[in-house]
Structure formats: C-alpha cells, structure tokens
Chains A and B, each alone.
Chain A
Amino acid sequence: MQVVYSFGAVGAVMVAAAAGLVIGGSAWIAVVAYAGFAVFLAGFCYRVVQWAAAPVPFRVPTTCGQQTSLPWIKSAALENPSTTSGVLGRMGLEILLFRSLFRNSQAGLHEKRLILSEQKYLWLAALAFHWSMLVILVRHLRLFVEPVPALVVALARIDGFFQLGAPDFYVSDMVLACALAYLLLRRFRDPVVRYISQFSDYFALLALIGIAASGLSMRYVTRVDVVAVKQFALGLAAFHPVRPAALGAMFAVHLTLISVLAAYIPFSKLMHMGGVFLSPTRNLANNNRAKRHVNPWNYPVKTHSYAEWEDDFRAKLKAADIPLEADHATRASAD
C-alpha cells in the first residue's frame, strides 16, 4: 500500500510539473525551484538547530574495539577513539566510507545452526549511490556557476573518461542508476526490508529515480538546450530569473521533482545527511573515565544516604561488628 501511495505521490508531482508548465510556463518552474530550495534551507537549519538545542547529557559512544587503558595494550584508535583526532577519524570513516554498514552480515538458520555470512551489497550500493550522487551534484555546478570552475570541468572529464557516445557518457550516471535500482528492488524483494519500508522510503527512492531518469533523458535521449538551461539556472542564482527558451516538459519534471524532494528533506528521514554528524554513539570519544562529561540538566535525586542506611541497620551492624559512624543505640531500627 505504501508503495502505491509513493508511486501516486511521485506521479502527482510529475503531473503537477507538466500542468504547471502548461498553465504557468517557465515562471512556474522558477517559483517551484525557489520555494523548494527555501523550504529546504530553512527546514534543514531548523532541524539541525533543534538537535543542537537538545544537550547530550551522557557520553555514550558505542565502542567497536579495544579501549585505551594500559599502555602495552594496543587500543583501537579509530573504532574506539579516546582522542578528538581519533573521533575525527572514526567520523571520517563513517561518513565517507560507511564503516558501520561495511560490518554488515546476514544471519541464516541452517538446521539449528546460526550462520552469519558476509553481506556487502547494501554497503556497496549505498556507497555507490551516495558518491555518484555527490559527483553528479558537483558536476551540476557547471550550470550554476559562470565561468565554470576548473575543478568541475576536471571532474566531468574524469567522469566522462570513456568518451562513449555523444554527449560523453558519464560513469556516475550509470552507477547512480544501478545503485538506485538495487536499493528499490531490495525494498521490493527482501521480505525483511519490505516489512519495514514505509511511504517515506519509497517516496524518496522513487523521487530520486524520477529525477535521475528525467536527467538522463535530457542528456542522452530527449535532449535539452543546455545553454538555455544554464541561462535559466544562472538567472535563478542571481535572483533575476529569466524566461528561457522552451526547455520542455522533461526539464519541468526534473526541476519540480528536485524542488519537491529538497523541500521534503527537512521533514523526512533524508535528514540523516545532517544527523550522521551528530550521532552521540559515534562522535564522542570513549574517554569517559579520563575526562568528566557534564550533564547540563543534572539534578539532585532522592537517595538513601549512608546515615539513613546506618540508622536502618544499626543494631545489626553492631551485632556483626561492622564499624559504625555514629553510635546512637537508642535510634536503632527494628529492622
């Protein structure tokens, strides 16, 4: 059911894009783009500020290796960091290489035996998706910046290294498409993942697939006047949106889906892009006993103090010859 809704939602966005184009023309696209981006920025900042506003009362890193203790025991500087540089390393591995996901295994039962086997496809697909996505985003800067930064040109050149076809076929395009297809198929086919998948999961994937498909189409199939696209994009960036030459429905779909997805980010799980930096189980050093962590809302609690305890058990303490703090025999409890 969630899948159907997601397909419906993405379809609706596409129809809206086309309808908007017919009714409002390119001005409509500009409005959608501005709105999407504004919601994204404001919402993203709001969410991060909301997280930052909540304190981290306790230092609770998940330790994934040997602690730093005795000097002759080698500690796991990255898996269980006790220093800031170690934490930076751990976060770097986590964010750039998806360290934790790389640990993934698959549990299977075979005649009462639990077999834990390697399972690296999810890691591979996730890494492939995110990196190709980053490459594609950076490549898109050629449409938003004039003159085009040399770095972007160089990246595009590497990405189009094979010089297959015209225009050059980009490796990142194919990697992204394959990774997205795998991630979606996985949600459909793996019974466990299907069980846990929700509207948000399908919607994000389908929107991305829609964006990728319309983008690929503009580049390789239906084609688009890239100069006009850049004029339009620069106009947006300079806050002087221009009415460009007709860019076609595919462009409208592409940009509308992006805008909708961007606006959706702050309200969805896609906030993991910011959240991954703030996870207290990963971004804190395991130096708990070496350096005191302060809880800003630490408050006094009702305890059972030694004096009360001694009062409770005075007679028994005395009988057992356990040293006492104060010897008020008369106040000895009956306990």
Chain B
Amino acid sequence: MAVGELGPRVKDAGLAALVATALLLPILGMETVPGPDGRLTLDFHLHLVAIGALLVFAGRLALSLLLHGRALRPSGRAGAVAEFVSRHGTWFGLAGIAFALALPFLPFASRYTIDVATTIVIYVMLGWGLNIVVGLAGLLDLGYVAFYAVGAYSYALFAQWFGLGFWACLPIAGLLAATAGVLLGFPVLRLRGDYLAIVTLGFGEIIRLVLINWHEVTGGPNGIADIPRPSFFGFPFTRSPAEGETAFHELFGLEFSTLHRVIFLYYLALALALITNLFVLRIRKLPIGRAWEALREDEIACKALGINPTNTKLTAFALGAMFGGFAGSFFATRQGFISPESFTFIESAIILAIVVLGGMGSQIGVVLAAAVIVLLPEIGREFETYRMLIFGAAMVLIMIWRPRGLLAHREPTLTLAAARGGRR
C-alpha cells in the first residue's frame, strides 16, 4: 500500500472504531449501580464510549500510516540500545551499585525516598531470584509468591514460637522455601512448559488458601502481627533499650532517630539483593548454570548430551525458591505484619512481569523494570487505579514488540527462516 492511499486506511480504522464501540458500550458505557430499592440500575457513560472509539480510530489510523502495513517488529535502534547496555553491563552495574550505596546520604534522600528504594530493592531481589527459574532455566513459574510467603511465615512463626532473631531465621526461611520448591518441583518438573505454569499457579493458590484457613497456626485472614523488628547485630533500634542492652544510637554515639532503622533496612535489602546477584552471576558460569541455559534452548539436545533435565531443573527451582524465601523473611521483618493478602496471584504476576519486561536472563533489565513498576503508582495517585491496567497492557505490548524482553540477554545467533513464523 502506498502512503497516499488514505481511503482503505480510513475504512480500516473506522471498522476498528466500530468494533471498539461494540466492545465498550456494555461494559464501559453502562455501569451497574445499586438503585434505591436495592435492585441494580444503570448509569450511562456514553461519552466515555465515544472517546474510546475516537481514540481507537485515531490510533489505528496513525499506526497504519506509520508502519505502512509492516508488522510491529523489534526496531533496530531498540536492539542496538539493548546490545550496548548488555555489552557494558559491568559498568552500568557498578554505577548502579555505587548510586544505591550512596542513596541514603544524597541531598534528596528522605524517609519516603528510602522507603520506596527499599521496596524497589525487594522487587529487584525477587526478580533476580525468579530470573534463575524463568530467565535462565526457562521454566515459567506463576506461583513464585508461594515461596515468598513460605519465607515470610517461617520467619514470623519461628520468631514468635522460639524467639529466634532475624539472622537465625534467614537461613531457616531460605531452607524451608527451597524445600517447598523441591517438594513441588520434584513431581511436576517433567511436565511441559505451560502445564508447569498452571501447576505452579495452582500450588501458589493452595499455599494462600491454606494460610487463610489454617487459623491455629497462621492466624487466618488476620495474619500475624508484632513480628520482631531487626536489630543491628544485636543492638536494637529503640530510643530506650531494655535493661542490659545497648541501642544502636548509643553504640555509635549518635542522636536517636527513627531514620536509622529505615536506612538499616535499606542496606539490609541491598546486601541481600547483591548477594543474590553475585550468586547468579557466578553460578551462570558454572556447569550447572550452563546446563540451565542449554535446557532452556533445547531440552532434547540436552538429554542427548547426558544432562539430567529433572535434576537440573530442580536445582534451578530450589535456588529460585530459596531467594524468594530470603526476600520473604526480609519482607516480614520490614512490615512487622503479614497476612495472606500480600501473597496473591497478582503479586506473582508482578514479579513475573518484572522479569519478562526486563528481558529474561538480563540482570540489569530486572533493575530497570522493578524501578518502573514500583515508581509508576508513586508518581501520582491517579496512576494507582490504572496501574494494573497499564501493567497488563504493557505485558501484551512488550511481548509483541520484543518477545524476549526489553533488554534480552541475547537473541539466538541462528534462527530458521520458518521459525520466524506465521504467514508474513
């Protein structure tokens, strides 16, 4: 189609607008609200439908004019940027770490910024943990939040029952989460990719439902409150410590400030995240890490080379789960309160989205994606409502635009022409 032919394009856009009208009219155009007698009545928002249809018309027309009938494909420029970032990953990484370390002392740092930064770092850590499973081993795990929950509840319960501190609980939480990973993984890992995804989703839901219904242990929907806050290796962050204890500010001769704990938590999260990162970077170079990536690319070839797929996948699953458990116990100590509400499927989807949007297998991509996803609702309250909407749309669009993620670690060096697929 030449650029000049406007007629067919307008007709096509008009058709799209018509479809949009039919789609939007009942759901968006007629809102069901309870009437005075308790029965439902309808509130009409026809102007919204008209706006929607116009947007679709304009968007479709613009798209067809811009693309000249070509399909939406990875553009060379985005690919070049991704390649540049990947090649100089070490420098970007070091700069990022330096910035993260300096953050609490920068002039704009406030309690709020550090809190947000801590949230970002938790998601980065979860993203890196899940990246082992999804990005490296190529196993789609839709129930990652289950391991996060196992970590959080094991810290909360061990602290409550046995009075164990954070540092004692951290390895226990990781171990329990890894055990949960092995228990789930062992029977299901021989399933094909998408079956595995659904089973992990089912497992995540089972854990959540058990947490809700097992009142005696987990406190049911009310969760567990009064989880002990972390101390600076035995020195608590309190204004007036108990008899015989030294508080953090006394130890260093500082003025007492509630900010100390916030900053400590931030560094704690950062340390955990960096340990995760270091671990992943190193294990990637070991035979087991190579085997994960090989398995992701071609399972049959791996079997032919004598790699045991089940064991290899199981290690990836268990290690990913372990880091989820670490992040979970950090979450519990930071919040001081946990309930099954925090461990819904949406949370799994957010972590997965961070990995996918960042580029599966890319460590820096995860950081970028986590920052975007946490900051988006912080920019303005109005984004809060639309966050999940934008989120879902972004997942679809990024898959279409760059199916391997924004900063894909690497595209396969060789692809068959036929594998590019479809009828183009």
The judgment on whether A and B are partners is no
